[in-house]
Amino acid sequence: MSSFAPTEQRLDVTLGKYREFPRQPAVLVRLVKHLYKQIHDEANAILRPYGLNHPEYNILMMMYGTPDNAMNPSQLSDAAGEKSANVTRLTNQLCDKGLIARTASEDDRRKVTLTLTDEGTALIESFLPGISMLLLQQTGNLTTDEQGQLEKLLKKMLEGFPA
Amino acid sequence: MSSFAPTEQRLDVTLGKYREFPRQPAVLVRLVKHLYKQIHDEANAILRPYGLNHPEYNILMMMYGTPDNAMNPSQLSDAAGEKSANVTRLTNQLCDKGLIARTASEDDRRKVTLTLTDEGTALIESFLPGISMLLLQQTGNLTTDEQGQLEKLLKKMLEGFPA
DNA sequence: AGTATATAGTTCATAACTGAATTATCAATA
DNA sequence: TATTGATAATTCAGTTATGAACTATATACT
Judged by a CB distance cut-off of 8 A, whether residue A130 touches chain B is no
Question: Does residue A105 approach strand D to less than 7 Å at its CB?
Answer: yes
The predicted pLDDT at position A1 comes to: 57
Q: Tell me which chain A residues have a C-beta less than 8 angstroms from the C-beta of B132.
A: 18, 20-22
The yes-or-no verdict on residue B31 having pLDDT over 70 is yes
Residues B40-47 have a mean pLDDT of 96
Residues 6+ apart with CB under 8 A from A120: A60, A63, A69, A94, A98, A99, A100
Given pLDDT bands bounded at 50, 70 and 90, which one contains residue B107? confident
Rounded CA separation A87/B132 (Å): 32
Q: Consecutive 10-residue runs of chain A (163 residues): their mean pLDDT?
A: 88 96 98 97 95 97 97 96 97 97 91 97 96 97 97 97 85
The predicted pLDDT at position B1 comes to: 58
Architecture of domain A51-129 in this structure: Orthogonal Bundle (1.10)
A103-107, B22-26, B34-38: which has the minimum mean pLDDT? A103-107
For chain B, list the strands marked E by DSSP: 70-71, 100-104, 112-116
In chain B, positions 97-116 with C-beta closer than 7 Å to nucleic chain D are: 108-110
Which residues of chain B from 62 to 81 reach within 8 Å of chain A, CB to CB? 62, 64-67, 75, 78-81
Rounded CA separation A38/B6 (Å): 24
Cα A158 to Cα A13, A22, A138, B41, B111, distances in angstroms: 28, 18, 21, 13, 40
The predicted pLDDT at position A41 comes to: 96
Which nucleotides in chain C lie closer than 7 A to a protein CB? 7-12, 15-21, 24-27
Rounded CA separation A148/A39 (Å): 19
Rounded CA separation B103/A62 (Å): 48
Q: What is the ipTM of this complex?
A: 0.94
High-pLDDT (> 90) share of chain B, %: 95
> Which H or E run includes B40?
helix B23-47
3-class state of residue B102 by DSSP:
strand
The predicted pLDDT at position A22 comes to: 97
Q: What is the pTM of this model?
A: 0.95
Residues B43-56 have a mean pLDDT of 96
Neighbour-count burial of B112, counting CB atoms closer than 10 A to its CB (0-12 exposed, 13-18 middle, 19+ buried): middle
Residues B101-123 have a mean pLDDT of 94
Residues 6+ apart with CB under 8 A from B153: A142, A146, A149, A150, A153
Judged by a CB distance cut-off of 8 A, whether residue A19 touches chain B is no
Query: Chain B: nearest CA to A97, how far in angstroms?
Result: 22
CA–C1' distance B108–C3 (Å)?
22
Domain extents in chain A: 1-50, 51-129
